[in-house]
A and B are shown apart, each in its own frame.
Chain A
Amino acid sequence: MAISTPKSAYLKGATGALPFLLVVVPFGMLFGVVGTEAGLNLAQVMGFSTLVIAGAAQFTAVQLMVDEAPTIVVIVSALAVNLRMAMYAAALAPYLGPAPFWQRAIIAYLNVDQTYAMSHQQFEAEPQMPLPARVAFFFGCATPILPMWVVATYVGAVAGAAIPPEFALDFAVPITFIALVAPGLRTLAHVSAAATSVILALALGWIPHNLWILAAGIGGMIVGAEVERRGTAQ
């Protein structure tokens, strides 16, 4: 049945988002643990999860701070991880662009991987959905996801201080990043991009101040885009 009222749209968004908690909660807890282990205090760990709200970028920043990279490299590298957010904004603009600015300003704050993915899928599937219902659907998606992200971070930060070193949590970040990337290796372009960045990371490791990360990332993006372009040109 097509959604028409904002209330039913909100409820559909909120219930549809519940399964995503299986990813969001462990990931948030892990950030709390890793951030605390890295030496951030509770307020700082919570600050990251409420101000940045982007797990992969938060882990990137913490990792580079542990590696004692220069401040600007920490910021630019973590923001590079978040460049995809501009793509999310562009993808939602045709559907949410006519909403009042204050609503779009709040939507932008809550526009994370899960809320974007659910909303975009819903708006594409039901293009005739009225604007207030679309906005309500988005806020519905955000309702379980965002608060639980913050709560999970808190639980991880409090528990993290008690985890002994035998648990090798130094390796939780690499494993998490592999886990985030592997399901996304859907096409030849994605695989080429990832493989290029790994090879470049090894070849360019001599570049100082951890700038090899950006160099390898940009190289991988160029290769991925080129493979995609050739693939679609045929």
Chain B
Amino acid sequence: MTAWSDPAIWGIMAALGLGTYTLRLSFLGLLGGRAIPEWALRHLRYTAVTILPALITPAVLWPEATGGQTDPARLAAAAVALIGGYVTRNAIVAIVGGMATLYLVQFAGF
């Protein structure tokens, strides 16, 4: 994070804070009473399940910590987190299972 000056970091934070607050207030305060169009709702429903996977896909396949080499431990950890989260519907189970798998496979020395 050496590339970021103090003012740059606070600037990003302020922009994110203001932007997020505007989104939260939008239809509750600023656009009072206006209905959100059906087509927009239909797209908004999928923001979390699309942006987050896109962001991490390269990090799962080519982790920086291993110099971009595909790492069996990290692949296994991601798979366990995905399946664990899907089956149990519980984010904490998925995180604990994923990180435990990562440590186990690394410890086993694959």
Q: Are A86 and B49 in contact (CB under 8 A)?
A: no
A18 sits at the interface (CB 8 A) = no
A182 sits at the interface (CB 8 A) = yes
The docked-state distance in angstroms from the alpha carbon of A111 to that of B32 is 16
* Shortest distance between the CB of B67 and any CB in chain A (Å): 12
Q: Are B53 and A82 in contact (CB under 8 A)?
A: no
Q: Are A79 and B23 in contact (CB under 8 A)?
A: yes
The docked-state distance in angstroms from the alpha carbon of A108 to that of B2 is 34
The docked-state distance in angstroms from the alpha carbon of A175 to that of B88 is 15
Q: Are B44 and A84 in contact (CB under 8 A)?
A: yes
Q: Which residue on chain B has the smallest CB distance to residue A26?
A: B92
Q: Which residue on chain B has the smallest CB distance to residue A101?
A: B29
A105 sits at the interface (CB 8 A) = yes
Q: Are A177 and B56 in contact (CB under 8 A)?
A: yes
Q: Are B24 and A225 in contact (CB under 8 A)?
A: no
Known: A53-B20, A175-B95. A65 touches B4 (CB 8 A): yes
Q: Are A179 and B95 in contact (CB under 8 A)?
A: yes
Tell me the residues in window 65-83 of chain A with beta carbons closer than 8 Å to chain B beta carbons.
65-66, 68, 71, 74-75, 77-83
Known: A44-B10, A105-B29, A193-B50. A89 touches B94 (CB 8 A): no
Q: Are B49 and A181 in contact (CB under 8 A)?
A: yes
* A contact residues around B74 at 8 Å (CB): 168, 171, 174
Q: Are B50 and A47 in contact (CB under 8 A)?
A: no
Partner of A104, one of B28, B43, B63: B28
- Residue interface mask B13-50, A partner, CB < 8 A = 1: 11111011101111111001101100101111111111
* A contact residues around B52 at 8 Å (CB): 56, 60, 81, 177, 180-181
A124 sits at the interface (CB 8 A) = no
Q: Which residue on chain B has the smallest CB distance to residue A196?
A: B50
Known: A71-B8, A185-B49. A175 touches B14 (CB 8 A): no
* B contact residues around A47 at 8 Å (CB): 10, 13
* A contact residues around B46 at 8 Å (CB): 189-190, 193, 220-221, 224-225
Q: Can you list 17 contacts pairing A with B, beta carbon distance less than 8 Å?
A: A22-B92, A51-B13, A84-B44, A86-B26, A86-B36, A90-B26, A93-B28, A105-B29, A175-B95, A178-B56, A178-B94, A179-B81, A182-B81, A194-B53, A201-B57, A220-B53, A224-B50
Please list the 8 inter-chain residue pairs (A to B) with the smallest Cβ-Cβ separation, ordered nearest first: A182-B85, A220-B50, A39-B1, A51-B17, A179-B94, A224-B46, A216-B54, A90-B27
